[in-house]
Amino acid sequence: MDQGWISLYRKIIHHPLYKEKRYFSKFEAWIDLLLMVNHRDNSFMMGNEMMEVKRGSKITSIKYLAERWEWSRKKVKNFLDMLQNDGMITYKSTSKYTYISIENYTKYQGINREEEHEKHIKGTSKEHQRNTNNNDNNVNNENKNKIPEYSIEFEEFWKVYPKKVEKQKAFKCYKKLLKEGYTSLQLLKAASLYAQQIKRENTDAKYIKHCSTFLGPNKPFIEYLEGGGNHGSADEENRKKAQYDKSKWLYNG
């Protein structure tokens, strides 16, 4: 009975049984780490620093893990030290974050297993959709009103973007651009440069583009990828505003 392996779908962490508030055992904490780490290489902005996070690694904090596992910070550190001494992980902590890497990650999650599992899930979902009835459709309509689960990359993008309205609509545009071949790093760069321009020019809030417009069909974000941060769109809007204010002043005489 102790031979072979099973796959745990990462979304299990959103199941009500998993989310039940409780005091984690050491085994649960270990499984939690396996579920939390990246399944592919990734990068994101942390303040002004671009962080590279490898497959099988995670940037977190002792404080966050303590709150998540209902442990003291000292117990979390002792647990990570134990795992590191046993060759199960490597980790390093700074004043800002803790970087954890699972040793021999492929042993726990083979290179192709996750992709195969995702294909299986998609195939099963399509088969299920063909067999749905009216009651299922009612449930689907209810699900449409639920708040979507945003990706880590989008959350980093959202932190940087200067106007935070219509998040769900922005996320749809973001996912569409990823499907078109743009990378999360490119979109993050564009948002960062746009935010810098807004701050530098002290642009009025009403002239800042909605995120869904910035990422929309006209793709204004592209000019921030091609030419850096000196762009004329905000200047043009400010110029029009100045002309309007001037004409209004002349009219009032």
Report the pLDDT value the prediction gives residue 50, as an integer from 0 to 100: 86
Can you state the percent helix, strand and coil of the chain, rounding each to 5? Answer: 60, 10, 30
**pLDDT value at position 1?**
56
The reported pLDDT for the residue numbered 189 is 92
Domain assignment of residue 224, given as a range: 149-252
Q: What is the pLDDT of residue 98?
A: 94
Q: Give residue 233's pLDDT.
A: 43
Number of structural domains the chain divides into: 2
Element counts in the chain: helices (H) and strands (E) = 13, 5
DSSP secondary-structure letter at 133? Answer: -
Residue 144 zone, left/alpha/beta (φ > 0; ψ -120 to 50; rest): alpha
Select from 59, 86, 108 the last residue of a domain: 108
- Residue 137: its pLDDT value, please? 56
Is residue 216 in some structural domain?
A: yes
pTM of the model: 0.46
pLDDT of residue 122: 57
**Residue 25: per-residue pLDDT:** 96
Q: CATH no. for residue 74?
A: 1.10.10.10
**94 shares a domain with 18:** yes
pLDDT of residue 134: 52
Longest dimension (CA), the chain: 91
The answer on 99 and 164 residing in a single domain is: no
* 130 falls within a domain: no
Is residue 129 one of the residues assigned to a domain? no
Q: Dihedral of CA 7/10/11/16: which sign?
A: positive
Residue 122 included in any domain: no
pLDDT of amino acid 62: 94
The predicted structure's pLDDT at residue 96: 87
Query: Which residues in the chain come in under a pLDDT of 50?
Result: 139, 229-236, 249-251, 253
Residue with tokens 């989008």: 154
